[in-house]
Amino acid sequence: MDDIVKQAMAKWPNVPHCYGWLALDARGNWRMRDERAQHFKEAGDKLTNPALVGFITRNYQSDEQGRWYFQNGPQRVYLNLETTPFIARTDPVHGFVLHTGAPLGEVDAAWLTEAGELLLRSGDVLAQLDDRDFAQVLPQLELNGRPVGDNALLAWLDAAASDPASLSPLTLRVGERAVPLAAIARDSVPQAFHFERQPQP
* Same domain assignment for residues 68 and 96: no
The C-alpha torsion from 100 through 200 and 122 to 154, rounded to 10°, is -100
Q: Do 55 and 39 reside in the same domain of the chain?
A: yes
pLDDT digits (tens, 9 = 90+) for 132-185: 999 999 999 999 889 998 899 999 999 888 887 788 899 999 988 999 999 999
Q: How far apart are CA 41 and CA 31, in angstroms?
A: 13
Is the residue at 199 inside a domain? Answer: no
Note every long-range contact of 91-98, with CB atoms under 8 Å and residues 24 or more positions apart, other chains counting.
95/174, 95/175, 96/120, 96/127, 96/129, 98/28, 98/125, 98/127
End-to-end Cα spacing for the chain: 23
Q: Say how far apart CA 156 and CA 65 lie, in whole Å.
A: 34
* Rounded CA separation 31/21 (Å): 8
Q: Does 143 lie in the same domain as 55?
A: no
Q: Tally the domains of the chain.
A: 2
> In this structure, are 77 and 107 located in the same domain?
no
- At residue 188, φ and ψ (nearest 5 deg) are -90, -5
What CATH number does the domain containing 48 carry? 3.10.540
Q: Within this chain, do residues 57 and 129 fall inside the same structural domain, yes or no?
A: no
Its pTM stands at 0.89
Q: What's residue 42's pLDDT?
A: 87
Same domain, 119 and 144: yes
* Residue 8 reports pLDDT greater than 80: no
Q: Distance between CA 100 and CA 93 in Å, rounded?
A: 16
pLDDT tens for residues 90-144?
999 999 999 999 999 999 999 999 999 999 999 999 999 999 999 999 999 999 8
Last residue in a domain, options 81, 101, 132: 81
- Do residue 68 and residue 151 come from a single domain? no
For residues 55 and 105, state if they share a domain: no
| Side-chain half-sphere exposure of 8, counting CA atoms within 13 A | 13
pLDDT over 90 (residue 1): no
Predicted local confidence at residue 14, as pLDDT = 64
Chosen domain end from 58, 81, 104? 81
* 154 occurs within a structural domain: yes
- Domain residues for the domain of 42 are 3-81
Tell me what pLDDT residue 132 has.
Answer: 96
pLDDT (tens digit per residue) in 16-72: 789 999 999 999 999 999 888 888 888 899 999 999 999 999 999 999 999 999 998
Residues 160 and 107 in one domain: yes
Domain final position from 81, 103, 138: 81
* Local confidence band at 11 (pLDDT 50, 70, 90 cut-offs): low
Same-domain check for residues 104 and 182: yes
